[in-house]
Amino acid sequence: MTTKPDTHSKVFGYLLWIFGFLGSHRFYYGKPVTGTIWFFTLGLFFIGWIIDLFLIPAMDREADLRFRDGEVSYNIGWLLLTFLGVFGIHRMYMGKWITGIIYLFTGGFFLLGILYDFWTLNDQISIRNEEHRFG
């Protein structure tokens, strides 16, 4: 039986859940639509946020099946985006130096690039890992 790699960490997911009323854990697990809803409604008025405490293990399993493991770590990418995204450090970490430098000088492309990356970072890392795998 083949085991699927652990691309996303439950510990990191729970740490993001602490700020989950802003949707950060949902973005991390590849659920940008509900992450956005959580952001604008404070975790569905904190009720959805509390329910997510019990849903994180299932979201973690689903993310592990959906995204590709590889050289670029999802945890590091999300950590960099969450705390240093406006400087483009997460993009430089993925090897996207030009857009990383653009983010650095434009405040994350005037914060719109940060929003885009919250929606797409998991897919960006998955594609990057696939490229690394096949050269």
Report residue 5's pLDDT band, with 50, 70 and 90 as the boundaries. Answer: confident
Q: What is the model's pLDDT at position 59?
A: 97
**pTM for this model (two decimals):** 0.90
In whole angstroms, what is the distance from residue 133 CA to residue 80 CA?
23
Across 27-36, 39-48, 50-59, 98-107, least confident range: 39-48
C-alpha 16/C-alpha 127 separation (Å) is 23
Judging by beta carbons within 10 Å of its beta carbon (0-12, 13-18, 19+), is residue 52 exposed, middle or buried? buried
pLDDT exceeds cutoff 70 at 2: no
Whether pLDDT at 15 is above 60: yes
CA 10, 34, 106 angle in degrees (round to 5)?
90
Query: What number of other Cβ atoms are within 10 A of residue 67's Cβ?
Result: 21
Which pLDDT band holds residue 69 (cuts at 50, 70, 90)?
very high
List the single range of 3-12, 22-31, 57-66, 88-97 with lowest mean pLDDT: 3-12
pLDDT at 1: 55
